[in-house]
Structure 1
Amino acid sequence: MAKPVVLTVDDDPEVLQAVSRDLRHQYGDRFRIVRAESGIAALDVVQQLKLRNEPVALFLVDQRMPQMGGVEFIEQAKDVFPVAKRVLLTAYADTDAAIQSINSARLDYYLLKPWDPPEERLYPILDDLLDDWSAAFRPPFEGIRVVGNRWSPFSHQVKDFLARNQIPYQWLDIELEPEAAKLVEYAEAEGRQHLPLVLFPDGSQLIQPSNLAIAEKLGLKTQAQRPFYDLAIVGGGPAGLAAAVYGASEGLSTVLIEREAPGGQAGSSSRIENYLGFPVGLSGSDLARRAVTQARRFGVEILTPQEVKGVRLQDSYRILQLADNSEISCHALLVATGVSYRWLNVPGADKLTGAGVYYGAAMTEAIACSNEDVYLVGGANSAGQAAMYFSKYASKVIMLVRGESLATSMSQYLIDQIAATQNIQVCTCCSVLEVKGNEHLEAIVISHGKTGEVETVPARSLFIFIGASPKTDWLDGVIERDTQGFILTGPDLISNGKLPRGWNLDRPPFLLEASVPGIFAAGDVRYGSIKRVASGVGEGAIAVQFIHRYLAKV
Structure 2
Amino acid sequence: MTTPQVARPSILTVDDDPGVSRSVARDLRRKYGRDYRIVRAESGAQALDAVREIKLRGEEVAVLLADYRMPGMSGIEFLEAAMDLFPAARRVLLTAYADTDAAIRAINVVDLDHYLLKPWDPPEEKLYPVLDDLLGAWQAADRRPARQVRVIGHRWSSRSYEVRDFLARNSVPFRWHALDDGDTEAGRLLTACGEDGVRLPVVITAAGETLVEPSDAELADRVGLTTRPSADFYDLIVVGGGPAGLGAAVYGGSEGLRTVLVERRATGGQAGTSSRIENYLGFPDGVSGEQLTDRARRQALKFDVEVLTACDVVGLEARGSARVVRLDDGTELAAHTVILATGVSYRVLDAPGLGALTGRGVFYGAATTEGPSCAGQDVYLVGGANSAGQAALYFAAHARRVVLVVRGDSLARSMSHYLVEQLARVDNVEVRTCTEVVGGTGEEHLESVTLRHTKTGETTTVPASWLFAFIGAAPHTDWLAGTLARDERGFVLSGPDLVTDGRLPEGWDLDRPPYHLETSLPGVFVAGDVRADSVKRVASAVGDGAMAVSLVHRYLERS
Same fold (TM over 0.5): yes
Q: Deviations over 1:455-488 (max 9, x none)?
A: 1111111001111110111111111000111000
Counterpart of 2:192 in structure 1: which amino acid? Y
Aligned pair count?
415
Counterpart of 1:507 in structure 2: which amino acid? R
Q: Is contact 2:347–2:471 with CA below 8 Å preserved after alignment?
A: yes
Q: Is 2:190 the counterpart of 1:184?
A: yes
Q: Is contact 1:147–1:174 with CA below 8 Å preserved after alignment?
A: yes
Give the distance between the partners of 2:187 and 2:405, measured in 1 at CA: 37
Q: What secondary structure does 1:445 align onto?
A: strand
Q: What secondary structure does 1:457 align onto?
A: strand
Q: Is 2:204 the counterpart of 1:196?
A: no
Shift of 1:373: 0.3
Counterpart of 1:180 in structure 2: which amino acid? A
Gaps of 5+ in 1: 1-138
Q: Deviations over 1:245-274 (max 9, x none)?
A: 111111111111000111111111110000
Q: What secondary structure does 1:285 align onto?
A: helix
Q: Is 2:428 the counterpart of 1:427?
A: no
Alignment of 1:205-224 (within 5 A): 205-224=210-229
Q: Which residue of 1 aligns with 2:330?
A: 325
Q: Is contact 1:503–1:517 with CA below 8 Å preserved after alignment?
A: yes
Q: Aligned in 2, Cα 1:288/1:141: closer, same or farther, shift over 3 Å?
A: closer
TM-score (normalizing by structure 2): 0.73
Give the distance between the partners of 1:407 and 1:140, measured in 2 at CA: 46
Alignment of 1:215-294 (within 5 A): 215-294=220-299
Q: Which residue of 2 aligns with 1:12?
A: none
Give the distance between the partners of 1:455 and 1:190, measured in 2 at CA: 42
Q: Is 2:129 the counterpart of 1:153?
A: no
Q: Deviations over 1:9-67 (max 9, x none)?
A: xxxxxxxxxxxxxxxxxxxxxxxxxxxxxxxxxxxxxxxxxxxxxxxxxxxxxxxxxxx
Question: Percent identity at matched positions?
Answer: 55
Q: Is contact 1:189–1:195 with CA below 8 Å preserved after alignment?
A: no
Shift of 1:332: 0.5
Q: Which residue of 2 aligns with 1:495?
A: 500
Q: Is 2:510 the counterpart of 1:509?
A: no
Give the distance between the partners of 1:203 and 1:513, measured in 2 at CA: 47
Counterpart of 2:325 in structure 1: which amino acid? L
Larger radius of gyration: 1
Give the distance between the partners of 1:466 and 1:507, measured in 2 at CA: 39
Q: Which residue of 1 aligns with 2:551?
A: 546
Alignment of 1:348-367 (within 5 A): 348-367=353-372
Q: Is contact 2:206–2:223 with CA below 8 Å preserved after alignment?
A: no
Shift of 1:183: 2.2
Give the distance between the partners of 1:180 and 1:515, measured in 2 at CA: 53
Shift of 1:450: 4.0
Alignment of 1:97-176 (within 5 A): 142-176=147-181
Aligned partner (choices 371, 379, 386) of residue 384 of structure 2: 379
Give the distance between the partners of 1:551 and 1:454, measured in 2 at CA: 59
Q: What secondary structure does 1:444 align onto?
A: strand
Aligned partner (choices 514, 525, 539) of residue 534 of structure 1: 539
Q: What secondary structure does 2:236 align onto?
A: strand
Q: Which residue of 1 aligns with 2:408?
A: 403
Give the distance between the partners of 2:444 and 2:334, measured in 1 at CA: 45
Cα RMSD for the two superposed structures = 1.3
Shift of 1:348: 1.3
Q: Which residue of 1 aligns with 2:116?
A: none
Give the distance between the partners of 1:411 and 1:196, measured in 2 at CA: 39
Q: Which residue of 1 aligns with 2:484?
A: 479
Shift of 1:185: 3.2
Shift of 1:209: 1.2
Q: Is 2:421 the counterpart of 1:416?
A: yes
Q: What secondary structure does 2:336 align onto?
A: strand
Give the distance between the partners of 1:323 and 1:464, measured in 2 at CA: 28
Q: What secondary structure does 1:441 align onto?
A: coil
Q: Is contact 1:490–1:509 with CA below 8 Å preserved after alignment?
A: yes
Counterpart of 1:234 in structure 2: which amino acid? V
Give the distance between the partners of 1:185 and 1:445, measured in 2 at CA: 42
Q: Is contact 2:527–2:548 with CA below 8 Å preserved after alignment?
A: yes
Q: What secondary structure does 2:297 align onto?
A: helix
Give the distance between the partners of 1:167 and 1:359, measured in 2 at CA: 21
Q: What secondary structure does 1:552 align onto?
A: helix
Counterpart of 1:300 in structure 2: which amino acid? V
Q: What secondary structure does 1:198 align onto?
A: strand
Q: Deviations over 1:275-321 (max 9, x none)?
A: 00000100111111111111111110111010111011111111111
Counterpart of 1:321 in structure 2: which amino acid? R
Give the distance between the partners of 2:338 and 2:475, measured in 1 at CA: 17
Aligned partner (choices 341, 350, 366) of residue 346 of structure 2: 341
Q: Is 2:389 the counterpart of 1:390?
A: no
Give the distance between the partners of 2:485 and 2:192, measured in 1 at CA: 55
Give the distance between the partners of 2:238 and 2:206, measured in 1 at CA: 33
Q: Deviations over 1:140-192 (max 9, x none)?
A: 9931111212210111010000000011111122122222233223333334x
Give the distance between the partners of 1:206 and 1:253, measured in 2 at CA: 34
Give the distance between the partners of 1:225 and 1:413, measured in 2 at CA: 45
Q: Which residue of 2 aligns with 1:437?
A: 442
Q: Is 2:355 the counterpart of 1:315?
A: no
Q: Aligned in 2, Cα 1:392/1:328: closer, same or farther, shift over 3 Å?
A: same
Give the distance between the partners of 2:427 and 2:354, measured in 1 at CA: 29
Give the distance between the partners of 1:190 and 1:386, measured in 2 at CA: 37
Give the distance between the partners of 2:189 and 2:225, measured in 1 at CA: 26
Q: Which residue of 1 aligns with 2:54?
A: none
Aligned partner (choices 359, 365, 368) of residue 373 of structure 2: 368
Q: Deviations over 1:187-218 (max 9, x none)?
A: 33334x42212122322211221111111111
Give the distance between the partners of 2:392 and 2:166, measured in 1 at CA: 22
Give the distance between the partners of 2:202 and 2:373, measured in 1 at CA: 18
Q: Is contact 1:141–1:170 with CA below 8 Å preserved after alignment?
A: no
Q: What secondary structure does 1:232 align onto?
A: strand
Q: Deviations over 1:334-358 (max 9, x none)?
A: 0000101110111112100011100
